[in-house]
Amino acid sequence: FIQINNEIALGASISPISKYHGSQYDISLLIWKDPEQGNWWMQFGKGNVLGYWPGSLFSYLSDSASMIQWGGEVVNSASDGQHTTTQMGSGHFPEEGFGKSSYFRNVQIVDGSNSLRAPKDVATFTEQPNCYDVQTGKNDAWGSYIYYGGPGRNPNCP
């Protein structure tokens, strides 16, 4: 990744942060392919272009992507069979909904003509649904959305 904007530190925390059952804050991220140079650009918020991945890095992304994934990931390196206590997202399951569970909303893709549109054929995947889970939906206010997360090890996820 070649960073061109030094006003935002990649990997740093973003504030303000949402509070459980309190104020919720959104951020906007946009990734798109430059049709001229073939580079994949990333933008944060309104007009804050952070940088790009050179197109030469991607043999299979030279024309387009065939799959896009949104979500969370937790690594469990314990070899004793116990699941990690690391939370995903807010640490709360998707069923708890807005103000409690983590989410992506207004999920869109950039198509071949550089236009935003809703993704088709959205599927979910979770390896440990008693530890972490995911739910998708669609409505007029949020477009396509995803609730995800969980507490990690708990009585139902040993």
Mean pLDDT of 130-145: 96
Indicate if the pLDDT at residue 78 is higher than 80: no
Distance CA 20, CA 157 (A): 22
Q: What pLDDT does 93 receive?
A: 98
**1 versus 38: which is more confidently predicted?**
1
Mean pLDDT of 66-92: 88
Find out whether 94 and 134 touch, Cβ atoms under 8 Å.
Answer: yes
Tens digit of each residue's pLDDT (9 = 90 or more) over 36-72: 898 999 999 988 999 999 989 988 776 777 888 998 9
Tens digit of each residue's pLDDT (9 = 90 or more) over 4-47: 999 889 889 888 999 999 999 999 999 988 888 989 999 999 88
Q: What pLDDT does 47 receive?
A: 86
Q: What pLDDT does 77 receive?
A: 80
What is the spatial order of strands in the sheet that 133-139 belongs to?
A: 102-104, 143-149, 133-139
| Region label for 4, one of left (φ > 0), alpha (ψ between -120 and 50) or beta (otherwise) | alpha
Q: What pLDDT does 101 receive?
A: 97
> How many other C-beta atoms lie within 10 A of the C-beta of residue 144?
20
| Banded model confidence at residue 80, pLDDT cuts 50, 70, 90 | confident
Distance CA 130, CA 43 (A): 34
Dihedral, CA of residue 124, residue 142, residue 11 and residue 130, to nearest 10: -40
Query: Model-level pTM?
Result: 0.86
Q: What pLDDT does 58 receive?
A: 84
Tens digit of each residue's pLDDT (9 = 90 or more) over 89-111: 999 999 999 999 999 999 999 88
Closest alpha carbon to 58 in 69, 66, 48: 66
Q: What pLDDT does 145 receive?
A: 96
